[in-house]
Homo-oligomer: A and B are copies of this chain.
Amino acid sequence: MGSTARTRVTLKDIAAHAGVSRSTVSLVMQESELVAGATRKRVQEAAAALGYVYNRGAATLRSSRTATVGVVVHDIANPFFGALMAGIDETLQAADYIPFLASSGDSLDRQARFLARMREHRVDALLLCPAEETPAASIEAIADWGMPCIEVMRHVGKSPLGDYVGADLRTGVINAVRHLVIQGHRRITLLAGIADHSADRERLAGYRHAMHEAGLDDLSHVDRGPLTRCAGRERTLALLRGNTAPTALICHNDLVALGALLALSHLGLRAGRDCAVIGVDDIEEAALAEPALSSIATHPRAIGRNAAELALKRIAQPEGERQRIVLEAPLVIRASSRISSAVAQEST
């Protein structure tokens, strides 16, 4: 209750108070099995009595373990990464680890600065959604520093160099195309991003594969542009104005897809009936849009949890075999991609 002495309490003080050595106190703090039950109790009581606060910095100096993890995302203001971070946070908290967070804004420069800082702080591991154009050499450099690094959602190079956690967007997009084909769609356009990173390539690969499978190679059309809601609206308006307008759209993410819905309603068309729209991520808003938006669910929170778990595992065994965890990305079908006139079938 009462505030304790102004002077800092250290292991030495509680050792004196409990009548043992510093080493023993240290062992108690580390929850070691070596120390006898009675002693442990005495030390813990002394620590509580003196209002001791563990100094993790001092411990780090000697042991070079920090109980921290660095997390780099492109933009923490993006709800997708917010949910990802929530999953990471949840898992780390349970293990008494703490995340440092930085937004790279997809800038290589800011990413590099942050990585340097993380190295100075000697985080135990790194969870990295690499900024666009990150060279493979950067990832190798991190490994060279002896810092475990988990790539999340995106990976540099053809296939992940080391540990990786992401969603199976390729299969997700394949399922989306098949679903559309079954409903009779043939002109199916992919609204992709401009940048060429792994997550983008996966969607594209799935799209190409499924269009080919359906014998629709010559009707394939990939539209590239910015990935905001606004852009989604504009891009859709432009596409529908063309003389070979698509009857179905698969959008890079839900924001773009929601923009597409705006465009349709602006033109007095009904999504689902007049033009099918499918997004990616299944953000909360998707289910509540009007009409409800079909989406390929990437479950960011689960990805975050898995990534954090893998990081903890890698900290425990740095030389263990590298893992590549790819979570399912199931297609959630809602009104925006159903021809059926039974509209407004939202769940309450």
Contacts and interface: CB of A to CB of B under 8 A. Distances in A.
Interface string A77-115: 111011101100110010010111111000000100110
B85 A77 contact: yes
Contacts of A103: 86, 89-90
Contact of A102 (B93, B119, B144, B285): B93
A85 B77 CA distance: 7
Is the interface on chain A under 10, 10 to 19, 20 to 34, or 35 or more residues? 35 or more
Contacts of A76: 76, 82, 85-86, 89
A229 B284 contact: yes
A223 interface: no
Grouping DSSP codes into helix (H, G, I), strand (E, B) and loop, the A interface class, with mixed when no group exceeds half, is helix
A44 interface: no
Interface in A220-239: 229-230, 233
Contacts of A68: 100, 121
A276 interface: no
B100 A100 contact: yes
Which of A58, A77, A122, A233 neighbours the largest number of chain B CB atoms within 10 Å of its CB? A77
Nearest to A118: B98
Contacts of A77: 79, 82-83, 85-86, 301
Given A85-B77, A110-B93, A56 B101 contact: no
Interface of A: 3, 53-58, 60-61, 66, 68, 75-79, 81-83, 85-86, 89-90, 93, 96, 98-103, 110, 113-114, 117-122, 144-145, 229-230, 233, 258-259, 262, 265-266, 284-285, 288, 290, 301, 344
- The 9 A-B pairs of least Cβ separation, nearest first, read A82-B82, A77-B86, A57-B60, A77-B82, A101-B101, A77-B83, A56-B120, A54-B120, A76-B85
30 contacts: A53-B119, A53-B145, A55-B61, A55-B120, A57-B122, A58-B61, A61-B61, A68-B100, A68-B121, A76-B85, A77-B82, A77-B83, A77-B85, A79-B79, A85-B101, A86-B103, A89-B103, A90-B103, A93-B102, A93-B110, A96-B117, A98-B114, A98-B118, A99-B100, A101-B101, A229-B284, A230-B288, A258-B288, A259-B288, A262-B290
